[in-house]
Structure formats: C-alpha cells, structure tokens
Structure 1
Amino acid sequence: QSHARALISVAGTKARAMLAKLSSLDLHPAAFPIGTAAATSIDHTSVNLWRGNDRPDGQPVFNVLVFATFAESLW
C-alpha cells in the first residue's frame, strides 16, 4: 500500500533550477543537503519533497511524493 501516493523523481543538471521555480524552498545544497525533506506545495498541490543521494555522475536527485489523484496533473 502506498496510501494512494505517487513518487516522481527529478534528477539532472537543471533539476534544482526547475524545482526552485515551482516551490518556495531554498534548494541550494548548503540549505537543502542530501537527506533533507520538507512539506511544500508545487502548483497549488501539497507535496513532500526530499533530496535523495546524488547519481553516480554527481547530478542531484529530488523526490516528490504527491497524492495519486494529483500526480498526473503535477507531472
């Protein structure tokens, strides 16, 4: 059971910049290091956002957990 939530993983060179335009969080590595999590909203949708381990090539990974009914709209 996922409690009706969907996980969207965002990674790559522009992941931080893209998410910074959609949320009010400071996603700079000093303010939002690996393992940090926060509840926020993206496009008026409540989400849980956390920073996962970087990919082997050093690119950051951000995970967005959203209610399944809003996942397609958020995507």
Structure 2
Amino acid sequence: MERLLEVSNLEVNFKTYGGEVKAVRDVSFHVNKGEIMAIVGESGSGKSVTVQAIMDLIPTPPGKITYCQNF
C-alpha cells in the first residue's frame, strides 16, 4: 500500500519559566492510502500538539520538535 504519512519518534518540548515541559514523547504511526486514523486520548495527553507538530505549526521558541519524520 502507498504510505501517505509516517511519523517516527515524535517528541515536542516547550521551554517555560519553570523549566522544560515534555508535551509529546516517542509518538510513532503511519497512515496508508485508503485508511482512516483517529487520535484519541484524555485531555492534556498531547493530541493537539501532535497534529500541530505534523503540520509544522509549533511556534519556536518556546516549542521544539526534537525528531519527526513526515512523508
């Protein structure tokens, strides 16, 4: 199958006055053509930050995407 999106070992950190916050740690997934994927989780689990990182919408600073591979 044709792979449309691949994310490997995504980590997103934010620098704050209180120190560094690790918002997303070691997230990996892929989506093939014809597949549907949903990201679910508790409030504050990093769903929105994950999607924003994939779309390169994390403001730097204070955010930092330490490793993300998209296709």
Q: Determine if the TM-score, normalized by the shorter chain, exceeds 0.5.
A: no
Larger Rg: 2
More helix by share: 1
TM-score calculated relative to the size of structure 2: 0.27
Between the two structures, name the one with larger relative contact order (CA 8 Å, sep ≥ 6).
Answer: 2
TM-score calculated relative to the size of structure 1: 0.27
